[in-house]
Chain A
Amino acid sequence: MEKFIELTAIAAPLLRINIDTDAIIPSRELKRVSKKGLGTGLFAGWRYTELGSRIENPDFILNQPPYRDAGILLSGANFGCGSSREHAVWSLAEWGIRAIIAPSFGAIFYSNCVRNGILPVILDDERIATLADIVSANPAENRIAIDLEQQTVVAVDGGTDTFDITPADRRMLMEGLDPIAVTMQRDDEILAFQARDRLKRPWVYL
């Protein structure tokens, strides 16, 4: 997994609430049993003029020149709610998004991000609205800088916000770890738990 330590990038404001994973990548865009090839399907319903077409809708923010190179999304509450499809995260990553700043996230989407090298940052509504104003004034220049080690978001107005993330998620992102390998370091504990549990709850074991 790609490490996430710090990032300074163009941020695209997409300030809608409840952007669900169907909107991030419509189901019809999942054509193969694969984690790859999903970037072109990102936001397909909004990004293209017609269903199934690849003609870009010029009004959609990620089609506009400075934002085509965005690495950060600014969004409204409950980003990534809905379907558990991890394809939403894979398509964002493939398109080039490395961090998403929103007031809240769908729970499954949030863990999917962390497991795929995307940093989900929770800031409050008002600050996100301010950040959106700042970047909109000059998207290419007014980049946002995120430092995961310090857990800060810095904008060109000099404002610095700190954000929360669990140490485990932070470490996973910063070191680009394989979560299964990390857990397997505790395999003895898992097996010991299972042996005890089998006696305590025999009815669970088929």
Chain B
Amino acid sequence: MGRTIIEKLWDAHSVADLGDGSHLLYIDRVMFHERTGSIALKGLEAAGRKVRNPEQVFGCMDHIVDTIPGRTDETMVPGGNAFITTTRDAAQKAGVNLFDLGDDRQGIVHVVSPEQGIVLPGVTLVCPDSHTCTQGAVGALAWGIGSTEAEHAMATKTLVVKKPKTMRVRFDGQPGLGITAKDLILRLIGEYTAAGGGGYAIEFAGEAIRAMPMEARFTLCNMAVEFGAWTGIIAPDECTYAYCDGRPFAPKAHVWEQALAHWKTLPSDADAVFDKEIVIDCADIVPQVTWGTSPQHETGIDGVVPDPANEPDANRRQSIERALEYMDLTPGTPLEGLPIDSAFIGSCTNARLSDLRAAGAIVKGRKVAAGVKAIVVPGSSQVKLAAEAEGLDAVFTEAGFEWRESGCSMCFFAGGENLGQEKRAVSSTNRNFENRQGPRTRTHLASPAMVAAAAIAGHLTDVRKLEQS
């Protein structure tokens, strides 16, 4: 019987079968950031342990650092400075790579890794951050871990991992104009719940994925964890190889040829069997937006806020009731037209160059609605430079958006800068949890173009109604 891509990567990295469904897996790359990586590095140091292959460990300053121009080690996050300086000192002592403030490779770890060619098809990569699944988009087995596991991976070059069940999610058909990877993944989560992928490693496949450019694939895999999955992966193809070719840490010359030959063996065999299969028809997906406090609380922009009374399952009903209270929404309210206070374009989900281009095309020649705070935070310093080179910064600032330095910024609230108490935000990020973007901030998730359209209109709106200029 054939093997899935997940099994192929698993087998190639299994150092030992521990006999109970778990394996000792070889870890090719470890990434970290100053929020959780600092604790892992300090933990190793305290235990007198060394990083085994420091050249294969990479860190980014992204979570705590400010994104306002002219930033320094001082940050608006209370106590944040210690995370930055501890990480820097510990990284230096351990001899690992660090993309620090001021380095033009700095940025959000999951954007930087593929950009620099650190994650590659066929590798295992872990990072103490739940959105590590983003990096599965190049055909790698990449998953989020805790700080203690990060210590383990750095010290031993391995992790003990329970073999996941496998699922294939096939996106059939072609999405319509203006429909993005974000809409596809939100639809999947809305349909099958935020726990729908629980315990699975998921291969995203199908016609729509094959036609999808690399950057959109990252968006899709980014939210595998919001689907409850252990991780997501997309089989590498010509699009992947073209993306990886020439990246700073990617293999070169004859080694590249060797790598390529290996990568071509990775896709799931035709007769491979998955533990579960799901098919999503992309043809009738409209732009999606969330109305509640879980990514599963979502609907099309043409939809209305649901009535909990119609939900037969008691747990889900309660979750909807709580969400509506938190979001200050009443059942039956149309999402189209819901006034917003802020619009945030950023995060490892949707702040790559193509995302900024899509949002920029909506914003160009228009103005942000009065009273709306609108912010763009590029996913990496490289993205920022590339966007500036094509004048996107001016497009945004002329419209009234703030143009920031790269980092996680207000994707999450850590006690510092935020989107405001009880303010309604539309955001290109991945989590609409309570207090995620600020104290009692009410987050609606959507694609970058939808966020841009809402910023201009001053309320949630169907981006397809705004003509691109």
User: Number of B residues whose C-beta is below 8 Å from A?
Assistant: 78
* Interface hit among A91-99, A137-145, A180-188: A180-188
Nearest Cβ on chain A to B386's Cβ, whole angstroms: 25
Interface residues of B, Cβ cutoff 8 Å to A: 12, 15-16, 18-22, 24, 26, 28, 35-36, 38-39, 42-43, 47, 49, 55-56, 78-79, 82-83, 86, 120, 122-123, 128-130, 144-149, 151-152, 155-158, 160, 162, 194-195, 198-199, 228, 230, 249, 251, 255-256, 258-259, 262, 294, 296, 315-316, 318-319, 322, 412-415, 421, 431, 433-436, 439-440
Asked if A112 and B148 sit within 8 Å, CB to CB, the answer is yes
Asked if B156 and A183 sit within 8 Å, CB to CB, the answer is yes
Residues of B within 8 A of A83 (CB): 129-130, 412
Task: Give the 4 A-B residue pairs with the shortest CB-CB distance, closest first.
Answer: A28-B415, A203-B259, A203-B251, A86-B146
Asked if A183 and B152 sit within 8 Å, CB to CB, the answer is yes
Residue of B nearest to A29 (CB): B415
Asked if B195 and A81 sit within 8 Å, CB to CB, the answer is yes
Asked if A115 and B315 sit within 8 Å, CB to CB, the answer is no
Query: Looking at B149, B195, B249, B435, which has the most chain A CB atoms within 10 Å of its CB?
Result: B195
Knowing A107-B199, A112-B146, A201-B122, say if A84 contacts B130 (CB, 8 Å): yes
Residues of B within 8 A of A31 (CB): 78-79, 415
Contact of A201 among B56, B262, B414 (CB under 8 A): B262
A-B contact pairs, 21 of them (CB 8 A): A17-B318, A18-B195, A18-B319, A23-B433, A28-B415, A33-B83, A35-B39, A77-B315, A84-B129, A86-B148, A104-B198, A106-B228, A107-B198, A107-B230, A116-B148, A167-B19, A168-B18, A186-B15, A203-B120, A203-B256, A203-B262
* Interface hit among A60-68, A146-154, A189-197: A189-197
Residues of B within 8 A of A168 (CB): 18, 20, 22, 160
Contact of A167 among B20, B28, B129 (CB under 8 A): B20
Asked if B55 and A206 sit within 8 Å, CB to CB, the answer is yes
A57 in the interface, Cβ–Cβ < 8 Å?
no
- What separation, in Å, do the CA atoms of A26 and B435 have in the docked complex? 8
